[in-house]
Amino acid sequence: MIEEADFKCLRCGHEFKAPYEKGKIEERFCPKCRSNSVRHIKKKL
Amino acid sequence: MMDVGRHPRIKLLTYSEIEEISGYIGNFRIKIRRKARYVDENECTACDECVEVCPVIVPKEHQMGLASRKAIYIPFPQAVPSAHLIDIEACLGFDPIACSKCAEKCDKNCINYDDKDKIIEFDVGSIIVATGMDVYDPTEFDEYGYTRFENVLTSMEFEILTGPGGVTKGELIRPTDRKVPKSIGFIQCVGSRCEKRGNPYCSNVCCMNTIKDTLLLKEYYHDIECKVFYVDIRASGKGFEDFYRRSKGLGVKYIRGIPGDIREDPKTKNLILTVENTSKGSIEEHELEMIVLSVGLVPRYDSDVIQKLLTLSTTSDGFLMEVHPKLTPIDAPTSGVFFAGCCEAPKDIKDSVTQASGAAARALTILSQDKVKIEAVTSIIDEDKCTSCGICADVCPYGAIIVDKKAKIPAKVIEAACKGCGTCAAECKFDAIRMRHFSDEQIMAQLEAILEENPEEKIVVFACNWCSYPGADLVGISRMQYPVSPRIVRTMCSGRVDEKFILHAFELGAPIVLVTGCHPVDCHYIDAQQWAQRRVERLWDKLERKGIRPERLQLEWISASEVGKFVKTMEELEEMRKKVTREEIEETKRILSKIKK
């Protein structure tokens, strides 16, 4: 299921939302600095 | 096709589908489903008497529904074998009371309604994939009225209409009044070179196909008016520019501009096309009796089947990906598999024939020898450590590892199929896989040498052999400058970068570690790169849990030509490195050594 998720760029620190599908690996990049060091921020329960 | 069918050393299996492919280079085993024809192909003389009595009429697939066929039919005139087959879904004849007219009419008793699919198996040494392509469906370009206006056709439909084997036996007529049109317009690049609709790539063949059509039209119908609406004409092959000039010389008008709208005159059924002529800078209207949409080529609708059967990868366009676009354009990433024609990329007949000749020659190089030379970089299983968990087999992009989890039989590497990406070694939790070359010991020793002195001044970069490492090389060749802190450790694939390499680098005092490799679509090991991404994402969480800033582990996909990206990344990492304090490095070392203990 595709859902909107939070991501953080580990290069410039920019936080943003983007579509996310669990288990799917795709090339992600930061919309601000174009780095691929983009981390999916998991929701804390 | 006839020559191939008659060749004593070629076995042609038409009306068949591949069900399963196993094995590896030189030793493939293929399971094929031979579909039931319901007609004895050896006895049938294609006399057509059965066709005459068959009462069922359905659209003919081979002519895109522009013609019809019977339920008993020959798919196309040149089909091999030249024998009928029954479309059993359309046929009424399973029950003789319902029909069975063809069986009654056939003197040779060729009809067999009880025929069944047959499964046959073959051993082959190499495989050539030549599954072709489909044409783009332009229905989404609503402004062109395709399917709304009968006189708007695609280039493929036009080909069927005008071809000698076509529905009109080569006679050009327009669909609405069955008369020869006095004017025809061709719209180029429909669904090609478009980011928003259709496909972003150029299909390579459409310009020359249109030029050929205009030449044929001018040859057979001297007075016909031909107009071609284009963005730019790509006539880059041998003799193609002459072809283009000949077309213009015969009076074909080339108008630079892509039409924005087509309307139909309800009385005459003529088509009125509005276009911005960008050469003149004016908005023009053209009334034409017929319009042909020059549509591009797309991957076959079922190309994913062969992709899965042979563990192949595709480019972002969906065409099958070769090992290297320049150096090995015919070879598939799976050894012993080669490409011919449009399954690999859109290409014209000449290029397809050239590639097919190359593929045949490449296949022969395998068949003509008893042994095959492979790269020395392969993985080796340590059976004493292997727990038969099967993770290595799951991650191997080539299916080169066999493991029987139930019987707890240790994993086995098929060396002829192994390409040495090292993903299995990196994913094995029990250290039961070692690599020939790029071994753990070699990589660890490199890290120790790099970080022996002043580690806080170094950035450890794990770069893959095919993209990022040549990218770094190209930066040097291009005499570009980047900071002196990065130290590159080459691996065959980013998938080889084991978690323990990264942690060891941090333990030795590395302030920043970068994992870099091919972009996902460029991965030379099908999808091994994805495992690197998964591993880095896992490690970010792990580092954070241990109290180490995940920002210190960086990830970047850099292709061999992205020199600018490589330099920019290194400059950014240098800035990050400067912010990592000695205290933070010492704390990291303390945390990791504590975990080790």
> B65, B93, B126 — which closes off a domain?
B126
B517/B590 same-domain check: yes
Mutate to test the interface with B, among A28, A36, A44 (most CBs of B within 10 A): A36
Chain B residue closest in CA terms to A37: B555
In a domain, B101, yes or no: yes
Residue B414 shares a structural domain with residue B490 = no
Q: B499 and B551: one domain?
A: yes
For chain B, what is the mean pLDDT? 93
User: For residue B189, what is the domain's CATH number?
Assistant: 3.50.50.60
Contacting residues of B for A39, CB less than 8 Å apart: 537, 540, 550
> CB distance A27–B530 less than 8 Å?
no
Which helix (H) or strand (E) segment holds residue B181: the answer is none
The percent of residues above 70 in pLDDT, for chain B, comes to: 99
The arithmetic mean of pLDDT across residues B60-87, rounded, is 88
Phi, psi of B538 (to 5 degrees): -65, -40
Per-residue DSSP letter, A21: E
**Band of residue B354 on the pLDDT scale cut at 50, 70, 90:** very high
In this model, does residue B166 exceed pLDDT 90? no
Residue B413 sits in the same domain as residue B475:
no
Q: What is the mean pLDDT of residues B20-42?
A: 93
Q: Which residues contact B449 (CB under 8 A, 6 or more apart)?
A: none
- The answer to whether position B349 is within a domain reads no
Q: Name the token pair of B564.
A: 């600018």
Q: In this model, does residue B165 exceed pLDDT 80? A: no
Tell whether B214 and B257 lie within a shared domain.
Answer: yes
The answer to whether residue B306 is domain-embedded is no
- Identify the domain containing residue B529 by its residue range: 440-596
What CATH number does residue B585 fall under? 3.40.50
Structure confidence at residue B538 (pLDDT): 95
Does a structural domain hold residue B45? yes
B490 and B391 both lie in a single domain: no
Assign residue B420 the CATH number of its domain. 3.30.70.20
Angle between helices B582-596 and B528-546 (to 10 degrees): 100
Q: At CA A21, angle to CA A16 and CA A23, rounded to 5? A: 120
- How many contiguous H segments (helices) and E segments (strands) does chain B have? 16, 27
Residue B312, domain member (yes or no): no
Compute CA B392 distance to the chain's CA centroid, rounded to the nearest angstrom: 26
Find all residues with CB under 8 Å of B271, minimum gap 6, and list them.
B145, B149, B151, B152, B185, B262, B263, B264, B265, B287, B288, B289, B290, B291
- Do B520 and A25 count as a contact with CB atoms less than 8 A apart? yes
What is the model's pLDDT at position B3? 87
User: Residue B340 domain-assigned?
Assistant: no
Cβ <8 Å between B557 and A37? no
Average pLDDT over residues A11-24: 91
Closest to A35 (Cβ–Cβ): which among B530, B553, B556?
A: B556
Whole-angstrom CA distances from B50 to B44, B103, B128, B272, B482 are: 10, 8, 36, 46, 77
Asked, for residue B318, whether it belongs to a domain, the answer is: no
Q: Which of A26, A36, A39 sits opposite B556 (nearest CB)?
A: A36
Q: Which domains does chain A have, with CATH numbers?
A: 2-41 (2.20.28.10)
Say whether both B522 and B461 belong to one domain: yes
CB B181 within 8 Å of CB B290: yes
With respect to residue B362, please indicate whether it lies within any of the assigned structural domains. Answer: no
Q: Which of B389, B406, B435 is the last residue of a domain?
A: B435
| Same-domain status, B63 and B166 | no
- The C-alpha atoms of residue B523 and residue B495 are separated, in whole angstroms, by 10
Residue of B nearest to A22 (CA): B534
Residue among B530, B551, B557 minimizing CB distance to A10 = B551
Final residue of a structural domain among B298, B329, B359: B298
> What is the secondary structure of B347-397 as a DSSP string?
--HHHHHHHHHHHHHHHHHHHT-SS----S--EEE-TTT-----HHHHH-T
Cβ-based contacts of B555 with chain A (< 8 Å) = 36-37
Which chain B residues are within 8 Å of A15, Cβ to Cβ?
A: none
Tell me if chain A has a CB within 8 Å of the CB of B569: yes
| A3 in reach of chain B (CB within 8 A) | no
Length of chain B: 597
Arithmetic mean of pLDDT, B41-65: 90
Q: In angstroms, rounded to a whole number, what is the distance separating the alpha carbons of residues B326 and B319? A: 16
| Chain A contact for B550 (CB, 8 A cutoff) | yes
Per-residue pLDDT tens digits for B94-110:
666 678 889 889 999 99
User: Is B526 found in the same domain as B412?
Assistant: no
pLDDT in the model for residue B34: 95
Between positions 510 and 539 of B, the ones with CB within 8 A of A are 519-520, 530, 533-534, 537
Residues B68, B73: Cα–Cα separation, whole Å? 10
pLDDT digits (tens, 9 = 90+) for B544-580: 999 999 999 999 999 999 999 999 999 999 999 999 9
Q: How many structural domains is chain B composed of?
A: 4
B51, B157: one domain: no
Q: Mind telling me how many Å the CA of B532 is from chain A's nearest CA?
A: 10
Q: Residue B520 corresponds to which amino acid?
A: P
| Residue A21 in this model has a pLDDT that exceeds 90 | no
- B119 and B167: one domain? no
Rounded to 5 degrees, φ, ψ at B9 are -110, 10
